[in-house]
Amino acid sequence: MNNILRVNTLTKEIRSEACKPEEVLLGGRSLIADLALKEIDPNCDPLGRKNKFILAVGLLGDTNVTTSGRFSVGGKSPLTGGIKEANVGGSVGRTMAMLGFRAVVLEDAPAVRQTNILVITGEKVQLISAPDFQNLAVRATCRLLRDRFGKNVGVICVGPAGEMQMAGAGLATTDKDGIQIRFAGRGGMGAVIGSKGIKAIVFDDTGVKTTTKYDRKALNAANKKLVQIIRDDPKTESRHNFGTPGVLAICDSLGILPTRNFSAGHFERMDAISGRTIRELIDKRGGDGRAGQPCVQGCIIQCSNVFPDPSGKATVASLQYENIALLGSNCGIGDIDDIAELNDLCNEVGLDAIETGAAIGVAMEAGVIPFGDSEGAKDLIHQVLKGTPLGRIIGNGVVITGKIFGVKRVPAIKGQAIPAYDPRSLKGIGVTYVTSPMGADHTAGNALEMADTIDPRGRDGQVEVSLRLQLRAAILDSLGVCLFIRPAFVKSPELLAELINARHGRKLQFKDVQQMGMNCLETEREFNRRAGVSTEHFDVPEFMRYEPLPPYNTVFDLTMDEMNKILEVQAPKDQF
């Protein structure tokens, strides 16, 4: 797992190089930050020849640590103009790690649109022209790739939205069995790989035996402790049973559930789309329906699902909170089957469902279609697929949609749609949206997990909370493990060092790991400074400062100066 594969997508030159010594303790998000700052012109066109598409696996990518093997994609974002990293489960991360690659970097860009597939096996790396895959929807693409290259392969791909280089395009990947379609959705990285003329990357580690030596005994011992704490954590059972949709009722009661283009934080039809309802329908409808599914091998939480239609046929897998909120309540749509279908359509076209749901909400506010019009919303996504002018507007995300239709209530920060947590009643996540190098991204530091220890609508302590959460995210995203195992490290921060030490033969302490997180954030901030998109230029949307959010009638009232103090705040020692 110590090599970096580089593919020049213009000249088709392929080469592999060993990680430099200073890269050996970087993985996933922190490796992307490091490579981006060293290699990408921060002022380049995100869809031009000078940007790079980076795929990187976490530091624990080739281990059996629970939830490990997530992988990150990143580069300069066509939405934010700054650095972006998005990560996801599935089987690609581990396969890539087993093949010895810590990162794959796609460089330069072909002069005209191309449809190529990069195939990486233990024996060779090939860039194959695949015009028959052009404009193919995501599910068919994944199926065809598995048919052609074997059931054991890990695949990532884009849908037509990514091929058309729409800034709302994400990257799709499947689980080991090819059932779930999961997305590294945020930041428009699907458009970036699309601009490189790469439709898909296929990883096949068949027959590859890892020769990497590390202290497996120590790693297993650390993992055992980790697993035990997770199993004991009261949230684990709920996550397993209800998945991320379980937080919908919580967010509704906190008044932060985006509703009708962020004009309210409570949705009157919440019950019809909640985690409990979803679970009941899965159980009642049977058929393909499943709850408690893993997205990466070896996960003990298993929070994914397969959501079936009334006849029991799978509609979408996995149906997640953020997508339900943005495509559902945010569009005034309260029918869970409609929402599942919209989610599936986004997946098929290869769109980030958060960005797209926000864009549809703004189009509804503009009167393009009325709120609640689920058939109209489906038609909009079909139009993305067809590449009509209206479809291309939606596919390019919420900010462009707002500009095109002259809408003032545009839920975006730094060009990227705000996810399913309205910051007016969850102030800490507002600090994250504004100050994280990732922009409006809930995975960069979600204050919801602190909502029972600090008043979510209060002003005090939000900056400190955000920094701590941002650090957590940066560390876990660099290890390639799921944010949901953080309770173990909160309880036992030294576990983080134990895992890294066992895998990489180091003698780190927790404070060193914390410093790794700080370094990651600081590297990303520096990229953004050089790109002209540093923290001080991006506030919450103006309407959130003067338009009270029902039902608590809050506005966002932390000042930019208060939030920017985050650059001086110290993380608490010995605490994750």
Interface positions with its own copies (CB under 8 A): 43-45, 47-50, 78, 113, 164-167, 388-390, 392-393, 396, 400, 403-406, 408, 531-534, 536-539, 541-542, 546, 560
79 versus 155: smaller Cβ distance to its own copies: 79
510 versus 538: smaller Cβ distance to its own copies: 538
181 versus 407: smaller Cβ distance to its own copies: 407
274 versus 396: smaller Cβ distance to its own copies: 396
Cis link prior to 318 (omega < 30° from 0)? Answer: yes
Provide the minimum distance between the beta carbon of 264 and its own copies in the complex, in angstroms, as a whole number: 17
Provide the minimum distance between the beta carbon of 127 and its own copies in the complex, in angstroms, as a whole number: 21
Provide the minimum distance between the beta carbon of 406 and its own copies in the complex, in angstroms, as a whole number: 4
118 versus 404: smaller Cβ distance to its own copies: 404
165 versus 432: smaller Cβ distance to its own copies: 165
112 versus 573: smaller Cβ distance to its own copies: 112
Provide the minimum distance between the beta carbon of 42 and its own copies in the complex, in angstroms, as a whole number: 8
Provide the minimum distance between the beta carbon of 392 and its own copies in the complex, in angstroms, as a whole number: 5
- Give Cα 497 distance to the centre of its chain: 25
Provide the minimum distance between the beta carbon of 550 and its own copies in the complex, in angstroms, as a whole number: 17
Provide the minimum distance between the beta carbon of 403 and its own copies in the complex, in angstroms, as a whole number: 6
51 versus 72: smaller Cβ distance to its own copies: 51
Provide the minimum distance between the beta carbon of 118 and its own copies in the complex, in angstroms, as a whole number: 21
Residue tagged 């624990």 (tokens): 60
6 versus 49: smaller Cβ distance to its own copies: 49
271 versus 536: smaller Cβ distance to its own copies: 536
Provide the minimum distance between the beta carbon of 84 and its own copies in the complex, in angstroms, as a whole number: 16
Residue 415 near residue 503, CB atoms below 8 Å: no
Provide the minimum distance between the beta carbon of 358 and its own copies in the complex, in angstroms, as a whole number: 16
Provide the minimum distance between the beta carbon of 387 and its own copies in the complex, in angstroms, as a whole number: 9
Q: E-assigned strands of 354-460? A: 412-413, 416-417
Residue 558 near residue 535, CB atoms below 8 Å: no
- Phi and psi at 476, nearest 5°, equal -65, -35
Assigned token pair, 429 = 């996540």
The b-or-e profile of 396-412 (16+ CB within 10 A means b, else e) is: bbbbbbbebeebebbbb
Residue 292 near residue 300, CB atoms below 8 Å: no
Provide the minimum distance between the beta carbon of 162 and its own copies in the complex, in angstroms, as a whole number: 11
The CA distances from residue 510 to 53, 331, 497, 517, in Å, are 31, 44, 5, 11
Mind giving me the DSSP string for 109-177?
--SS---EEEEEESS-EEEEE-GGGTT--HHHHHHHHHHHH-TT-EEEE--HHHHTT-TTB-EEEE-TT
Assigned token pair, 462 = 């939000």
| Radius of gyration of the chain, Cα coordinates, nearest whole angstrom | 22
334 versus 391: smaller Cβ distance to its own copies: 391
- For helices 427-435 and 462-479, the axis angle rounded to 10 degrees is 60
Assigned token pair, 166 = 């729409």
Distance between CA 187 and CA 168 in Å, rounded?
7
Q: Which residues contact 7 (CB under 8 A, 6 or more apart)?
A: 13, 14, 104, 105, 106, 107, 118, 125, 127
58 versus 82: smaller Cβ distance to its own copies: 82
Distance between CA 154 and CA 176 in Å, rounded?
7
Distance between CA 299 and CA 576 in Å, rounded?
21
167 versus 317: smaller Cβ distance to its own copies: 167
Angle at the Cα of 473 from the Cα atoms of 139 and 33, rounded to 5 degrees: 80
Residue 133 near residue 119, CB atoms below 8 Å: no
Distance between CA 200 and CA 187 in Å, rounded?
18
Provide the minimum distance between the beta carbon of 111 and its own copies in the complex, in angstroms, as a whole number: 8
